[in-house]
Chain A
Amino acid sequence: MKFDEQQLKAVKEFLYKIADDQLIIGHRNSEWTGLGPILEEDIAFSSIAQDKLGQSMHIYEILYSLGEKDPDTIAFTREAKDFKCSHFVEYMIGEYDFSLMRNFLFSHSELIRFEMLAESSLEPLANLAKKYKGEIKYHVMHSDLWVKQLGKANEESHARMQSALNECFNLALGIFEESEFAEDLKEMKIFDGEKFLRDKWLEQIMPVLEKASLETPPQSNWSPVYGGRKGEHTEYLQPLLDEMGAVFRLDPKAEW
């Protein structure tokens, strides 16, 4: 595909946003490795975290083919202000209820985003979307299971999941911060827009939450947390980047 300058900017920003979200939530979720509630869940959650890292790497590879630096350099050497991830994925892992709820809300948005991207005119991205359909489907099955299980298990688990949902909800709405290039992306038939995605997302999570006896905050209180897509971040991102890239920066030329 040939892009003019404006289009290329639009495509790169779009890819950075998707991959950065995946890299950061992948890293956060991997912080549970070895600490999961039971061995089997530890393995499952760690695998899901690895999947997200792998997906982000493949999107960084597309960026590389568009003239950006190589995936390792992109992932491990940028400063927080160069990242386009949402605040939602930056927050610390908290208790397991928070991490599960975050992964539930995020994975559903990924499932729909990648369904949309499978139809994208940006061919390498459409191919990735098709390839990862099954992986993301499993992430959603895993989250749905835990949300329903803990939403109903007992009073304490229900209260914890409800408070995690309250804590997460406005942050999750921040995933859908519209890009200044939204019109370009639509025109190029690359992506139909965050608004469309958000509406589909709400349609999809509501029945699961209902089955779990959990309630989203009343719509009058919805207040999406934006800024991440513009490079404004929480205080939690930079320490994460410092830790994540520490080994790489010891010797950026080392062969792995």
Chain B
Amino acid sequence: MKSFDPRVNRMELPSNDDGKEVLESEENWETYEVFHQKKRGDQHIHVGIVHAANPEMALILAKESFGRRRQTANIWVVKSSLVYPTDYENQDMFETTPEKTYREASDYYCMDRIRKYQKEHGISDRKDERRKNKEAEEK
């Protein structure tokens, strides 16, 4: 097999082999999940993976793979093998979630009741006051 990649050619793969088997046996580095933090105090956000022989190498390579084009305060790497995922076979357990709008704050209409209560008890609306003050200032 003649490849554009000189490293593949140097491996002198048999001409009738597509190289898959040999390449797989060479591919023995683990992957690390990379988490990127933009500013100190922000949460770290998953951005991708790197291949590396050890955690130190993963950090060094992640710095350029994922930090070279954006503001960065900190990077975490975690061995991919240490991540425990849910099974896609069980994805149906999430199926009805989008219907459960009562779990979202936007599903509650209560301002009219709050206003009524404030009026009855003589409580002024702070937001309203601020607006009035601002308008007075502008005049």
**Which residues on A are within 8 Å of B, measured CB to CB?**
35, 37-41, 43-44, 47-48, 138, 141-142, 145, 149, 153
Contact = CB atoms under 8 A, between A and B. Distances in A.
A38 B51 contact: yes
A251 B85 CA distance: 57
Chain B's interface size range is 10 to 19
Interface of B: 6-7, 29, 50-54, 56-57, 60-65, 68
A41 B63 contact: no
Determine the main DSSP class of A at the interface with B.
helix
A149 B53 contact: yes
Given A35-B6, A37-B7, A47-B68, A138 B63 contact: yes
A29 to B, nearest CB: 13
Nearest to B57: A145
A43 B61 CA distance: 8
A35 B7 CA distance: 8
A48 B68 CA distance: 11
A44 B56 CA distance: 14
Contacts of B57: 145, 149
A44 B7 contact: no
B23 to A, nearest CB: 12
B51 A44 contact: no
B56 A145 contact: yes
Contact of B64 (A38, A44, A145): A44
A39 B27 CA distance: 13
A75 B68 CA distance: 25
A44 B60 contact: yes
Nearest to B4: A34
Given A35-B6, A37-B7, A149 B64 contact: no
A145 B64 CA distance: 14
A40 B51 contact: yes
A141 B60 CA distance: 8
Contacts of A44: 60-61, 63-65
Given A40-B51, A40-B62, 14 more contacts: A37-B7, A38-B29, A39-B51, A40-B50, A40-B61, A40-B65, A41-B61, A44-B64, A47-B68, A138-B63, A141-B60, A145-B56, A145-B57, A149-B54
27 contacts: A35-B6, A35-B7, A37-B7, A38-B29, A38-B51, A39-B51, A40-B50, A40-B51, A40-B61, A40-B62, A40-B64, A40-B65, A41-B61, A43-B61, A43-B64, A43-B65, A43-B68, A44-B60, A44-B61, A44-B63, A44-B64, A44-B65, A47-B68, A138-B63, A145-B57, A149-B53, A149-B57
Nearest to B54: A149
A48 B64 CA distance: 9
B60 A145 contact: yes
A200 to B, nearest CB: 24
A48 to B, nearest CB: 8
* Residue with the highest number of chain B CB atoms closer than 10 Å, among A39, A141, A142, A145: A145
Nearest to A46: B64
